[in-house]
């Protein structure tokens, strides 16, 4: 079920009303679990079975991990959890990719090989809930978490509908403590949750879908080489679209969870005002980057084993992060570029970081623009359907396209530049603050008016109910 659908509006109203009934907490949690299964099944009912499988595996692995102190058994149990979870992810998400590459390899080696067509559906949100559930067994294995006693709480953690299909990736230690005490949602919290839900929908429906997506689709879908202005407009449109789409989903998820009394972590902190790439990855998809840091980068040695090993670890993490987004080499290149950016930033800091210029406001602005420029170059590989498309666009962006065509109207270009400029400005202003602080410092009537405008814009935007981009990941 999509947040930006009429079905969700009805579903959420029904859930909110029934959830408020003064029934025992266990019953209310059971109701939330049932609602979460309905939310997921509304997309494709049989795929709920995978969720159940993942829940059962990690529940039992966690339980048995808590009972044994034998290091070998503990390693086996963690291995069972990781292999089964990542095995399902690998089969459903990467099976076709592996098969395609194997076919190309065989054919290049002169071995004729023609596989049967791959017709496996990618379960929505599998990358998110897989990464989420393994934090449970991993943290128990590392003795940072005790197994939870209630199966209901654990099942709700795996399935909680606000963040189930596109994050934020919530850790067991962040969610499970919240299941202990009954939730009474105060009117203030409910209203704030609804405002966040509206803001998320505004980002998705108005900014991403209506104002930016068409230009991005036209430019990335163009068969010809484009003029430099058209190419950059398309890339900026996608840059704004993917932020508004994904941050919009996360904001909806946070707002929805708040209305139900649950707190889930931030996923974005105004990333287009990042100064450098370490800063960018502390602001973009925070729950994924912190997951990769805590469950992969640090176990691999992090930065504790010398400079070269640190760089290798960084690159490895970013390549895996790229592949997490999609089963295609273009995503790997996107991750690889970010790995290079991170390494380059470290080298640059070491060589030039002591210069007084880098402490000035001008340097800050220039570094924000440089970071954003490089982020946009990387987005080309993220969005392009193929390397041919990516190269065509890169050449167009840097004026190497030779004969080129213009496909965008002046109105489209002006709209994208205005919207992207406003996004950058908003991120710059909000760089050191939060939504909460901003709203608290704003007169109440202005909050009301802005809220009303967002509702009106959402209604008259009448988006076509496009799925969130991150659903496919």
Partner 1 sequence: MRSFISSFERIRKIRTVPLQPWVRVLAVGVVAAVVMLGGWEMTARAAGYVPSIRDTPDLWAMSRDRVKRHDDGKVLVITGASRIRFGLDHDIMSEAFGGLPVVNLAMDGGVVRPVLHDLAQDEGFRGIVICDYVPNLFWMPGGPLLEESASWVEKYPRRTLSGRFGQQIAVRIEGMLAFLNNDLTLGKLIETRVKLPNRDGVMLPPEFPPFLAVNRLDRREVMWEKLEKDPAFQDRIKGIWQGLFSMATALPPELVGKMRAEVAADVKAIRDRGGDVIFVRFPSTGWLREWENETAPREAHWEPLLQETGCLGIHFEDYPELGGFDCPEWSHLSGADAEKFSRGLARIVREKYKGNE
Residue 357 binds to partner 1 (criterion: CB under 8 A)? no
**Shortest Å, Cβ 341 to partner 1:** 27
Q: Which of 182, 464 has the CB closer to partner 1?
A: 464
User: Quick count: other Cβ atoms within 10 Å of Cβ 407?
Assistant: 18
Contacts of 154 (CB under 8 A, 6+ apart): 55, 58, 59, 62, 136, 148, 176
Q: Which of 104, 405 has the CB closer to partner 1?
A: 405
**Shortest Å, Cβ 143 to partner 1:** 5
Instruction: Give the burial string for 440-470 (b: 16+ CB within 10 Å, else e).
Output: eeeeeeeeeebbeebeebbeebebeebebbb
Residue 101 binds to partner 1 (criterion: CB under 8 A)? no
Count of residues touching partner 1 (by CB under 8 A): 72
Residue 80 binds to partner 1 (criterion: CB under 8 A)? no
**Shortest Å, Cβ 409 to partner 1:** 6
What gap in Å lies between CA 116 and CA 444, rounded to an integer?
61
Residue 451 binds to partner 1 (criterion: CB under 8 A)? yes
Contacting range for partner 1; rule: CB under 8 A; set: 150-158, 304-312, 313-321, 432-440: 432-440
User: Quick count: other Cβ atoms within 10 Å of Cβ 158?
Assistant: 22
Contacting range for partner 1; rule: CB under 8 A; set: 242-250, 337-345, 354-362, 451-459: 451-459
Whether residue 463 contacts residue 4, with contact meaning beta carbons closer than 8 Å, is answered with: yes
Residue 122 binds to partner 1 (criterion: CB under 8 A)? no
Residues 251-270 close enough to bind partner 1 by CB under 8 A: 254, 258, 263-266
What gap in Å lies between CA 65 and CA 59, rounded to an integer?
10
Instruction: Give the burial string for 64-101 (b: 16+ CB within 10 Å, else e).
Output: bbbeeeeeeebeebbebbbebbeebbeebbbebbeeee
Residues 203-262 close enough to bind partner 1 by CB under 8 A: 206, 210-211, 214, 254, 258
Residues 172-191 close enough to bind partner 1 by CB under 8 A: 173-178, 186-189, 191
User: How far is CA 419 from each of CA 16, 380, 397, rounded to the nearest angstrom?
Assistant: 34, 19, 20
Residue among 215, 214, 245, 209 nearest 232 (CA): 215
C-alpha angle 336/338/343, rounded to 5°? 95
User: Does residue 179 have a cis peptide bond before it, meaning omega lies within 30 degrees of 0?
Assistant: no
Helix, strand or coil for residue 125? coil
Residue 433 binds to partner 1 (criterion: CB under 8 A)? no
| Residues identified as active-site | 325
Q: Which one among 239, 371, 372, 415 touches partner 1, defined by CB under 8 A?
A: 415
Q: For the chain, give the longest Cα–Cα distance.
A: 72
**Shortest Å, Cβ 246 to partner 1:** 19
Residue 119 binds to partner 1 (criterion: CB under 8 A)? no
Residue 105 binds to partner 1 (criterion: CB under 8 A)? no
Contacting range for partner 1; rule: CB under 8 A; set: 125-133, 326-334, 354-362, 459-467: 459-467
C-alpha angle 165/169/170, rounded to 5°? 115
Q: What does the radius of gyration of the chain's CA atoms come to, in whole angstroms?
A: 23
Q: Which of 344, 464 has the CB closer to partner 1?
A: 464
Residue 409 binds to partner 1 (criterion: CB under 8 A)? yes
**Shortest Å, Cβ 148 to partner 1:** 9
Residue 69 binds to partner 1 (criterion: CB under 8 A)? no
Residue 457 binds to partner 1 (criterion: CB under 8 A)? yes
Residue 42 binds to partner 1 (criterion: CB under 8 A)? yes
Residue among 375, 376, 313 nearest 341 (CA): 375
Residues 146-175 close enough to bind partner 1 by CB under 8 A: 146, 171, 173-175
Contacting range for partner 1; rule: CB under 8 A; set: 22-30, 108-116, 303-311, 438-446: 438-446
């Amino acid at each position: 079920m999509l947040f930006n659908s009429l079905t969700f509006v009805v579903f959420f109203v029904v859930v909110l009303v029934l959830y408020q009934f003064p029934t025992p907490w266990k019953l209310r949690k059971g109701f939330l679990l049932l609602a979460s299964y309905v939310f997921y099944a509304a997309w494709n009912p049989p795929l709920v079975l995978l969720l159940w499988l993942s829940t059962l595996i990690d529940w039992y692995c966690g339980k048995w991990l808590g009972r044994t102190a034998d290091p070998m058994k503990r390693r086996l149990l963690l291995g069972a959890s990781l292999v089964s979870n990542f095995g399902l992810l690998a089969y459903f998400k990467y099976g076709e990719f592996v098969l395609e590459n194997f076919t190309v390899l065989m054919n290049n080696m002169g071995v004729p090989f023609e596989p049967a067509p791959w017709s496996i559906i990618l379960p929505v949100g599998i990358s998110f809930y897989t990464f989420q559930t393994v934090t449970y067994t991993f943290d128990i294995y590392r003795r940072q978490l005790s197994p939870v006693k209630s199966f209901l709480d654990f099942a709700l953690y795996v399935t909680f509908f606000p963040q189930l299909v596109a994050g934020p990736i919530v850790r067991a230690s962040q969610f499970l403590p919240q299941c202990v005490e009954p939730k009474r949602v105060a009117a203030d919290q409910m209203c704030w949750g609804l405002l966040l839900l509206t803001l998320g929908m505004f980002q998705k429906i108005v900014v991403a879908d209506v104002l930016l997506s068409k230009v991005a689709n036209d430019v990335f879908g163009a068969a010809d080489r484009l003029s430099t202005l058209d190419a950059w407009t398309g890339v900026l449109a996608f840059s704004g679209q993917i932020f508004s789409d994904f941050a919009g989903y996360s904001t909806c998820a946070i707002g929805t969870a708040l209305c139900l009394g649950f707190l889930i972590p931030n996923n974005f902190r105004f990333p287009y005002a990042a100064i450098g790439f370490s800063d960018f990855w502390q602001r973009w998809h925070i729950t994924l980057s912190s997951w990769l840091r805590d469950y992969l980068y640090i176990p691999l040695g992090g930065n504790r084993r010398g400079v070269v090993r640190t760089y290798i670890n960084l690159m490895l993490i970013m390549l895996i992060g790229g592949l997490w987004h999609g089963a295609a080499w273009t995503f790997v290149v996107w991750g690889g570029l970010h790995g290079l950016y991170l390494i380059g930033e470290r080298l640059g800091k070491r060589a030039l970081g002591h210069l007084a210029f880098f402490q000035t406001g001008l340097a800050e602005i220039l570094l924000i623009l440089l970071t954003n420029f490089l982020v946009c170059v990387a987005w080309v590989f993220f969005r392009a359907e193929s390397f041919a498309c990516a190269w065509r666009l890169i050449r167009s962006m840097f004026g190497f396209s030779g004969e080129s065509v213009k496909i965008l109207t002046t109105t489209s270009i002006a709209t994208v530049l205005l919207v992207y400029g406003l996004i950058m400005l908003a991120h710059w202003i909000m760089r050191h603050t939060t939504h909460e602080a901003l709203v608290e410092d704003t007169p109440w009537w202005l909050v009301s008016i802005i809220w009303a405008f967002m509702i009106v814009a959402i209604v008259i935007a009448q988006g076509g109910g496009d799925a969130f981009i991150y659903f496919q990941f």
